[in-house]
């Protein structure tokens, strides 16, 4: 059976995503993927170096949607959140359970379904990044950068770094070892 990256109705499976947030991430992912590909497209999922193929499909954005996501930086970040959270769900069977703010953005905390209801003690932090036009080397470089940032910034929290390369058709998950 073909593995699929499921960007549909993510709010139904991820308690940290509201209907509108999940919809926004899905739209943004569609805008970013449409810059380089036509649906459906096969991408590579890499989980701590183990690679597997997956199919991702989306509705090509209409001009209004493209206009709403005209800010490429915002679109790449939101699209990456959607794809990486869907990738964590597929590869680790984890869901996004909580959102927490940081000085420069927001972190998502992921865990098995049901985690994060009364506290965050068993959750791990998800560090997300998106690469619009770069190739595999750029995605790998970004993964290293995110791992480094995660180690520098929040040392005693277990974390998972996830990077989506839209042009490269590559989604990488990498565990960040505790410092």
Partner 1 sequence: MSWDLYHSRSERLAAEAEAARRAGDRGRAESLYQEAAIAEAEAFDQLPSNKQRSRGITAVSAVALWYKGGEYVTAERLAYRYLSSGQLSSFAEAQLRELLNVLWSAHAAQNAGVRFVPGDVFVSVKGGQVIYGGAPLDLIVRKVEGIQAVLLRTIEMLLARPFRRHGAAGQDIQSMFRPWLFQAPAGSYQFAIRVQEPAQRELWEANRPELGTVTSTFFKVLRATASDPETELQAIVPDREYREAFLGLSRNLAPTGKTFERLEVRDAGTPAEPIASFAVETRRQINAALRKVKPRQPTIVTDEEATVFGILRAVHLDQDWLEVATAEMPPTHIRIDEASEALDDVVGPMVNRRVLVSVVRRGPRHLYRDIELDE
Residue 59 contacts partner 1 per CB under 8 A: no
Residue of the chain from 7, 24, 27, 85 that contacts partner 1 (CB under 8 A): 24
Closest Cα to residue 56, out of 2, 130, 113, 96? 2
CA distances from 44 to 51, 54, 131, 141, 144 (A): 6, 6, 14, 17, 18
CB of 147 to partner 1, least distance (A): 14
Residue 9 contacts partner 1 per CB under 8 A: no
CB of 156 to partner 1, least distance (A): 4
Residue 16 contacts partner 1 per CB under 8 A: yes
Q: Which residues contact 21 (CB under 8 A, 6 or more apart)?
A: 11
Residue 102 contacts partner 1 per CB under 8 A: yes
Look at the alpha carbons of 133, 99, 23, 175 in this order and tell me if their dihedral is positive or negative: positive
Residue 151 contacts partner 1 per CB under 8 A: no
Please check whether residue 101 is in contact with residue 21, taking contact to mean a CB–CB distance below 8 angstroms: no
Piece of the chain touching partner 1 by CB under 8 A; list 12-20, 42-50, 57-65, 83-91:
12-20
Considering only residues 70 to 89 of the shown chain, the ones binding partner 1 according to CB under 8 A are 71, 73-74, 77
């Amino acid at each position: 059976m073909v593995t699929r990256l499921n960007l549909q109705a993510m709010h139904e499976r991820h308690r940290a995503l509201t209907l509108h947030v999940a919809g926004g991430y899905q739209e943004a992912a569609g805008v970013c993927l449409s810059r380089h590909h036509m649906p459906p497209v096969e991408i590579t999922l890499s989980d701590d170096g183990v690679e597997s193929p997956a199919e991702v499909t989306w509705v090509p954005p209409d001009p209004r949607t493209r206009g709403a996501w005209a800010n490429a930086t915002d679109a790449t970040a939101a699209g990456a959140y959607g794809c990486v959270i869907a990738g964590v769900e597929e590869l680790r069977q984890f869901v996004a359970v909580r959102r927490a703010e940081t000085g420069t953005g927001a972190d998502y905390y992921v865990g098995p379904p049901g985690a994060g209801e009364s506290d965050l003690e068993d959750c791990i932090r998800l560090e997300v990044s998106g690469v619009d036009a770069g190739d595999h080397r750029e995605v790998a470089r970004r993964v290293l950068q995110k791992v480094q940032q995660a180690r520098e910034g929040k040392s005693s929290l277990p974390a998972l770094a996830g990077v989506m390369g839209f042009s490269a058709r590559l989604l990488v998950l990498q565990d960040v070892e505790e410092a």
